[in-house]
């Protein structure tokens, strides 16, 4: 079939990259050419997904002008197979709660809710322009995930009877507006942090944050007034007129922190309000 060109409304870039090619598939296997004279040779794919806001009353993406174009091509390429749930339309409902093969529901992804999400791919990076296409944007990584854009591309049947569907290829991208950047990376909440037991002697409170025990206020000291008779003026000793020889400074005391200090330095504990006496009393410093 001949490819059919179309241009999307303004949507938000929510997955992939306009600049960095993919070299592996969803299972981590190297991408290779699947058919033709170059079958088996390595290849790269530039993939990204655009989240297009739903309009009131829409219950399926094929009810949109751009969606009708995709649906027409797919149904003509595979009149029977296109009715199957497994047909690769490359468009998903961002409000769907049905998990994909990796167990991730579209609605849980950032930027998906309330949108139709279209996946674009090509063996070449898209050409990138300003909002009206009058000027090319050539700065590296100028358009990031989370920004708003329009995409011009084309759609055709994938020609596979084993995995029927459509190819949606990108050609050009126009930066429409800026939005909160979406940062993609490992989910720190899903890798098992915080589930391992703590070793003996571990504490969840940093040593520098310890609050020293409250000490009772010293009792006021009162002294009775005592009258003193003036002492006689002493006669200076001539030896005192010689400049004194400065004494060697005392050696700095060696403070040895013990295991209960949890690795905190003496200076950190003093800065937190501890005293030498308290450190020794609580077994955190050698007396």
pLDDT in tens, 111-160: 999 999 999 999 999 999 999 999 999 999 999 999 999 999 999 999 99
pLDDT in tens, 190-229: 566 777 887 887 777 776 655 556 666 656 655 555 454 5
Q: What mean pLDDT is predicted for residues 103-114?
A: 96
Chain-centroid distance of CA 196 in Å reads 23
pLDDT in tens, 33-83: 887 788 888 999 999 999 999 999 999 999 999 999 999 999 999 999 999
Give pLDDT, residue 146. 97
Give pLDDT, residue 226. 47
pLDDT in tens, 155-178: 999 999 999 999 999 999 999 999
Domain architecture of the chain: domains with CATH: 4-183 (2.40.50.140), 254-287 (no CATH)
**DSSP string for residues in the chain:** ---EEEE--SEEEEEE-SSPPB-B-TTSPBPB--SSTTTTSB--BEEEEEEEEPPTT--SGGGSHHHHHHHHHHHHH-TTGGGSTT-B-SEEETT-----TTS--GGGSTTTTTEEEEEEEESSPPEEE-TTSSSB--STT-S-TT-EEEEEEEEEE---SSS-BEEEEEEEEEEEE--PPPPP---GGGS-TT-SPPPTT--SS-GGGPPPPP-PPPPPP-------PPPPPPPPPGGGGSPPPPPPPPPPPP--B-GGGTT--HHHHHHTT--HHHHHHTTSB--
Give pLDDT, residue 228. 47
Q: The whole model's pTM is what?
A: 0.64
Entry field: residues in the chain: 287
């Amino acid at each position: 079939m001949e490819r059919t060109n179309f241009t999307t409304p303004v949507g938000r870039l929510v997955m992939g990259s306009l600049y960095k090619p993919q070299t592996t598939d969803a299972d981590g296997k190297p991408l290779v050419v699947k058919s033709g004279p170059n079958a088996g040779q390595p290849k790269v794919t530039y993939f990204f997904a655009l989240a297009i806001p739903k309009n009131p009353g829409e219950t399926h993406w094929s009810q949109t002008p751009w969606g009708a174009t995709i649906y027409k091509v797919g149904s003509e390429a595979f009149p029977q197979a296109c009715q199957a749930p497994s047909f690769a339309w490359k468009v998903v409902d961002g409000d769907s709660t049905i998990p994909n093969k990796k167990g991730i529901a579209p609605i849980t992804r950032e930027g998906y809710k309330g949108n139709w999400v279209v996946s674009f791919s090509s063996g070449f990076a898209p050409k990138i322009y300003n909002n009206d296409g009058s000027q090319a944007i050539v700065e590296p990584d100028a358009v990031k995930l989370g920004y708003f854009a329009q995409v011009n591309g084309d759609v055709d049947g994938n020609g596979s009877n084993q995995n029927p569907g459509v190819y949606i290829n990108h050609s050009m991208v126009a930066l429409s507006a800026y939005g909160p950047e979406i940062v993609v990376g490992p989910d720190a909440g899903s890798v098992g942090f915080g589930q391992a037991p703590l070793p003996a002697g571990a504490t969840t409170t940093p040593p520098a944050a310890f609050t020293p025990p409250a000490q009772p206020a010293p009792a006021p000291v009162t002294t009775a007034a005592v009258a003193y008779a003036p002492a006689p003026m002493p006669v200076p000793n001539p030896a005192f007129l010689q400049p004194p020889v400065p004494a060697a400074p005392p050696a700095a005391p060696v403070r040895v922190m013990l295991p209960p200090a949890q690795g905190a330095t003496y200076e950190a504990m003093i800065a937190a309000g501890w005293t030498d006496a308290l450190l020794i009393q609580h077994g955190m410093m050698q007396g």
